[in-house]
């Protein structure tokens, strides 16, 4: 009877050890995946910041005014050219 109990305990110990090894292996794999995803997130945040800066540069009022004047030939109307329409 004691040999049976010892055999069961040894078997339970081996199964538990295999479970621990498996859990540690899965943890390492998930940690590597997490690290890769965090790196990708950081790269996307950097790109997003660059795009926000670029958008702010392209949408700057002085730049739009300059392009409107040079490329499109636009200008502010003279006082005589302004017509006010009232209901």
Residue 79 lies in a domain: no
Residue 81 pLDDT more than 90? no
Asked if residue 30 belongs to a domain, the reply is yes
Query: In this predicted structure, what is the pLDDT of residue 28?
Result: 98
74: CB partners within 8 A, 6+ apart: 68
Q: Report the C-alpha gap between 86 and 84 in whole angstroms.
A: 6
CA–CA dist 81, 87 (Å, integer): 19
The domain total for the chain is: 1
pLDDT at res. 42: 98
Q: What is the pLDDT of residues 15-70, one digit of tens each?
A: 999 999 999 999 999 999 999 999 999 999 999 999 999 999 888 888 888 888 99
At 55 the pLDDT is: 92
Please determine, for residue 6, whether its predicted confidence score (pLDDT) is greater than 90.
yes
Residues in the chain: 87
Per the structure, the complete domain to which residue 53 belongs is given by 2-72
């Amino acid at each position: 009877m004691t040999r049976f109990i010892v055999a069961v305990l040894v078997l339970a110990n081996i199964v538990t050890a295999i479970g621990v090894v498996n859990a540690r292996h899965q943890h390492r794999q998930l940690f590597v995946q997490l690290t890769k995803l965090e790196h990708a997130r950081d790269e996307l945040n950097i790109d997003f910041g660059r795009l926000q800066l670029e958008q702010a540069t392209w949408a700057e009022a002085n730049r739009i005014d300059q392009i409107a004047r040079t490329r499109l030939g636009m200008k502010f109307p003279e006082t005589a050219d302004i017509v006010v329409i009232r209901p």
